[in-house]
Amino acid sequence: MNTNNNSEQYIAQDSQAGKIAPRRGFLRSAALATVCSIALAGAGQAMAATTWKIQSVWDAGTVGYDLFEEWANSMEEKSGGELIIKPYPAKSVAADNNALFEAVRNGVLQGMNPFTLYWSGKIPASVFLSSYPAGPDQPHQWDIMFYSMGMLEKTREIYEKFGLFYVGPIQHDANIIHSKKPVNSLADMEGMKMRVPGGMVAEVFQQFGVSTVSLPGSDIFPALEKGTIDAADYVGPAVNYELGFSQVTDYIMFGPPGVMSIYQPVDLMDLTVNLRAWNALDPELQQLVEDEVRNYSQKHYLTIQKRNIEAMKKFKADGDTVTRLSQQDLEDFRKAAIPIWFNWAAKNEDARAILDIQLEYMMNETVGYIDEEDIKGM
DSSP state string for 139-206: HHHHHHHHHHSSHHHHHHHHHHTTTEEEEEEEEEE--EEEESS---SGGGGTT-EEE--SHHHHHHHH
pLDDT of residue 34: 46
pLDDT exceeds cutoff 70 at 117: yes
pLDDT exceeds cutoff 60 at 45: no
pLDDT of residue 63: 87
Minimum mean pLDDT among 43-52, 141-150, 240-249: which range? Answer: 43-52
Minimum mean pLDDT among 148-157, 211-220, 223-232, 315-324: which range? Answer: 211-220
For residue 117, give the nearest of 268, 319, 326, 302 by alpha carbon. Answer: 268
The mean pLDDT value of the chain amounts to 89
State how far the Cα of 279 lies from the Cα of 273, in Å rounded to an integer. Answer: 10
The one-letter amino acid code at 110 reads Q
The tens digit of pLDDT for each residue in 307-327 reads 999 999 999 999 999 999 999
Name the region of 119 (left: φ>0; alpha: ψ -120 to 50; beta: rest). alpha
pLDDT exceeds cutoff 90 at 211: yes
State how far the Cα of 233 lies from the Cα of 356, in Å rounded to an integer. Answer: 28
pLDDT of residue 43: 45
pLDDT exceeds cutoff 50 at 4: no
As a whole-number percent, the residues of the chain with pLDDT over 90 amount to 81
- Average confidence (pLDDT) over 81-97: 96
Numbers of helices and strands, H then E, in the chain:
13, 11
Name the region of 61 (left: φ>0; alpha: ψ -120 to 50; beta: rest). left
Confidence grade of residue 266 (pLDDT, cut at 50, 70, 90): very high
